[in-house]
Structure formats: C-alpha cells, structure tokens
Amino acid sequence: MKQFATITVIGRDKTGVIARVTNFLFEQHANIEALEEQVTRGQFSMTLQASWLKRDCDGAAVKSGLEHLATTLGMDITFRLTDSHRKQRMAIMVTKEPHCFEAIMAALKPGRLGAEAALVISNRRDLEPVAKRHGLPFVTVPWLERDEAEKRVVEVLDDHQIDFVVLARFMKILSPTFVWRYKNKIINIHPSLLPSFPGPQAYRQAYEHGVKIVGVTAHFVSMHLDEGPIIAQDSFVVRPNMTLKQIVGAGQRLESKTLVKALKLYLKNRLDVYWGVVREV
C-alpha cells in the first residue's frame, strides 16, 4: 500500500529550488510520481506528487522538514497527504445564486457523484440557510482584500482536508497563487461557450451580439481568467424573440446540468490535462 501527498512550492524564482525539494524528499524515502513547474514574471510555482510505502512515510517529519526548507528558501511550501481509497472531500464556493449548489447537493443524495461535500465557503451570507438545510458547515470570508481573503480560505481548506474545490457560481476572481495551490483541482462553470464571452455578464453579451446558440462551459480554473482546460460544454438554440431573462433562465438550468456532468467525469478519474487540453483516459 502507498501513501500519496501533494506538495506545492510558490515564491520568487531562484536557483536550486527543485533540487533542494526533491533531494529532501529522496532523503525521506519518497518516490516522485509527477512534477510540474513554471516561472511567470519571476514567480516560481511547482506542484509535485509524491508517494511512499506506508511503512516509510513519516508525515510529521516530512511536514516539519518542508516547513524548515520553506523558511530557508524564503518560499511558501504546502504539504497535503491524500488518500486515494476514501471519498474525495469537496469544498463548494458560492456567492448568491443557488442553482448550481442545489444541483450538486441533489446529485450527492443518491450517491451519483462519489464525493463528500465537506463545507461551503462564500463571500456573502445569502446561501447560508441552504447550506444549513443540507447539514454543511458554512464559512463566510469577506472579500475586501483578496490576499487576506484567500489566505483565510486556504486555512479553511487545509483544516477540512479538502481534495478539490467547486466554484458553484462564485463571483470572485482567484489569484494565480491560489489557483496554483490547487492546480487542476478547482472546477468552475461559466455561462458561455468559451472562449467566447469570458468575464462577467456573459449572457448579456451573447444577447446583445444576437448569437443563435448560447452555451455553458465547465472548466478547470487556470491563472488566466476563463481560459482553463475545458471539461464539458453544452448549448441551446435561441428561439426568435427570446428575452434576456428567458436566456438567463435556460442558461442557468444548463449550468447545473453541465457542472454535475463535469464533476462526474472528474471523480471517475477519467480526466488528464495535456498541454492545456482535457482528455478522458
């Protein structure tokens, strides 16, 4: 039996970071399963998947050693043990629209998703009654300063041992640093057939452009707004004389369906991201 872990390293680029981290893990009897790194405008980011034989894994020692290494390098290093045999723990981030949140909860009831909803995080209190109705912890994080808000969200996610995050119409833009911590583990639903109409007011943009087909896109969140790898899409035909309100209503129903479809694909471990493209494996 193996013990798996995900390690992220973020900070100003400098020589030797990869070597220092991988050498430390070698000393801890770890096997490097996967490693991805990049440097953007002097900012270094790395995600590393490691594994141990159960008898060789001392999680406390690895965590302590990585914390010391983070201080030495002047970088932010996080360490999360993962268990491939338990249900994936999901955090749902919302703002005020309930339709996607409700669709996820409906799919969880008959066990169709194979995941565990662990908590709900929001920048508003609008959907707190919905979370309580479903017996979920509800954490409100004011989004006055993004850095402080994201720091608090990371603490909450770590405290609840979250494996992946779903943005169920969460209406705030996440920073590249936050996204990198959960690379290809944050799933969003966007109300357009991306790459068309990124950003806010997508339905209004489609309506004003007179498009004849309107759609929605479930995608992994990347460091670029609404440009992440696409998991699932769907669309509907705009009928003659259809109002903006009717388009929004039809779109929201499709958002719920497509987001649940994307979660099913993700949780069945049938997805791989290769050069920015999602493939079923």
Q: Which residues are catalytic?
A: 226
| DSSP summary character for residue 55 | G
User: Residue 140's CB: how many other CB atoms inside 10 A?
Assistant: 13
| DSSP summary character for residue 238 | P
In 3-state terms the chain splits into helix, strand, coil percentages (rounded to 5) of: 35, 30, 35
Which one, of 238, 259, 138, lies nearest residue 191 by Cα?
Answer: 259
The half-sphere exposure of 120 on its side-chain side, counting CA atoms within 13 A, is 29
- Contact at 8 Å (CB) between 37 and 14? no
Identify the H or E element spanning 56: none
Cα separation values, 105 from 26, 90, 119, 163, 180, Å: 42, 11, 12, 17, 27
- Contact at 8 Å (CB) between 110 and 181? no
Question: String of b and e for 186-221 (b: at least 16 CB within 10 Å)?
Answer: bbbbbbbbbeebeeeebbebbbeeebeebbbbbbbb
Give the C-alpha separation, 281 to 267, whole Å.
12
SS3 169: coil
User: Residue 281's CB: how many other CB atoms inside 10 A?
Assistant: 8
